[in-house]
Amino acid sequence: MSQTDSRKFAAFSYSFSDPWAGETAEDAQDVTLSFRFAKPTKLQIQRLQDKAAKNAGQASRNLVLDCVHPDDKQALTDAMEEYPGIATSFATAIIKGV
């Protein structure tokens, strides 16, 4: 059984309004993103805590990329390129869950 097969994944969704997507701020586009994440290990949480003081954004990015379902990884990476702040949002939601 592979590591992916033995881990349980839960869907996390995040919705927000993108004021830069439309012609004007009033034309903001609603965005909903949903990805599946595994429960982080103690080591992954410790790594997040150790690195967060130096670079919180990168620490969050590392955590979500470590925990995301392999089938969702490319879509998450693409979404983080367009919306860099979502790494922190998803990492916060994951931390709240553990």
Residues 6+ apart with CB under 8 A from 15: 30, 31, 32, 33
Evaluate whether 13 touches 32 at the Cβ level (below 8 Å). yes
| pLDDT tens digits, one per residue of 3-31 | 556 889 999 999 999 988 877 767 789 99
What's the predicted TM-score (pTM) here?
Answer: 0.86
| pLDDT tens digits, one per residue of 38-80 | 999 999 999 999 999 999 999 999 999 999 999 999 999 999 9
Evaluate whether 70 touches 36 at the Cβ level (below 8 Å). no
